[in-house]
């Protein structure tokens, strides 16, 4: 039980509490609301394997925008946000499949 308004900082605490029940192998499955990179790292540091989908949102103090709301303009090779602004290119990443 917690008084936090969301689950972003709760993953490791819940997993560590569950681990105290003398489990030999600890894995935790959670929904995207629990995804927080520092919490995932904290679980791994304690030998707990987390299975959590990454969140599909980008939060700002005023609004939450889902990735699928951005449209790709192939002519200009840019993405356009729902407000009509062009996103600036900063870097590219590659995610490896963990399986």
In the block, tokens 């489990």 appear at: 23
- Is 85 contained in some domain? no
- Is 33 contained in some domain? yes
- In whole angstroms, what separates CA 82 from the centre of its chain? 22
| Cβ count near 10 (within 10 Å) | 16
Task: Band the pLDDT of 58: cuts 50, 70, 90.
Answer: low
- Is 22 contained in some domain? yes
pLDDT at position 63 is: 61
- Is 92 contained in some domain? no
- Is 91 contained in some domain? no
- Is 76 contained in some domain? yes
- Is 67 contained in some domain? yes
Asked if 4 and 25 touch (Cβ cutoff 8 Å), the reply is: no
Q: What is the pLDDT of residues 4-28, one digit of tens each?
A: 555 566 777 777 776 676 666 678 8
Task: Band the pLDDT of 71: cuts 50, 70, 90.
Answer: very high
The number of distinct structural domains making up the chain is: 1
Q: Whole domain around residue 60: which residue ranges?
A: 11-80
């Amino acid at each position: 039980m917690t008084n936090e308004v969301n689950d972003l900082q709760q993953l490791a605490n819940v997993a560590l509490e569950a681990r105290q029940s003398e489990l030999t192998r600890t894995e935790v499955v959670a929904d995207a609301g629990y995804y927080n990179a520092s919490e995932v790292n904290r679980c791994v540091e304690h030998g707990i394997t987390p299975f959590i989908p990454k969140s599909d949102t980008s939060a700002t103090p005023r609004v939450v925008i889902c990735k699928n709301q951005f449209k790709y303009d192939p002519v200009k090779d840019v993405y356009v946000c729902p407000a009509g602004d062009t996103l600036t290119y900063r870097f590219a990443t590659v995610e490896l499949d963990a399986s």
